[in-house]
Amino acid sequence: MSDQISFDDFLKVDVRVGQVIKAEEFPEARKPAYKMQIDFGPEIGIKKTSAQITKHYTPETLVGKLVMAVVNFPPRQIGPVMSEVLTLGVPDEDGEVVLLSPTKDVPIGGRLY
């Protein structure tokens, strides 16, 4: 079992729903990845990130998709991209990332509770 955290610790992680508005190839990445811009609504705005999700998605299928992301990590330089959020996913049986998405349409910017 992993280390336990308190509920207050969990509340420090700000996970929001965003909508991918732009996705493109990221040829400079060491492993196949896409660069994305995700809209989190007026409170947070549009944020940039990259993700190694090329096995299950194309740039065309990502645009318009609702995704979950941690929005309160400090920005991190990934090659030439300054990643501003951490898009969340889980590995499939082959270890390839499948994005976490709401199963219904929800307003962008909504916070995970």
Per-residue pLDDT of the chain (113 residues; tens, 9 = 90+): 578 999 999 999 999 999 999 999 999 888 999 999 999 999 999 999 999 999 999 999 999 999 999 999 999 998 889 999 999 999 999 999 999 999 999 999 999 98
Give residue 22's identity as a one-letter amino acid code.
K
Could you list the beta-strand ranges (E) of 26-100.
34-39, 46-51, 66-70, 76-78, 81-83, 86-87, 89-91, 97-99
Rounded to 5 degrees, φ, ψ at 7 are -60, -35
What's the fold here for domain 7-99?
Answer: OB fold (Dihydrolipoamide Acetyltransferase, E2P) (2.40.50)
Contact 19, 69 (CB under 8 A): no
Query: Which residue type, as a one-letter code, is found at position 107?
Result: P
pLDDT for the residue 113: 83
So what's the pLDDT on residue 78?
87
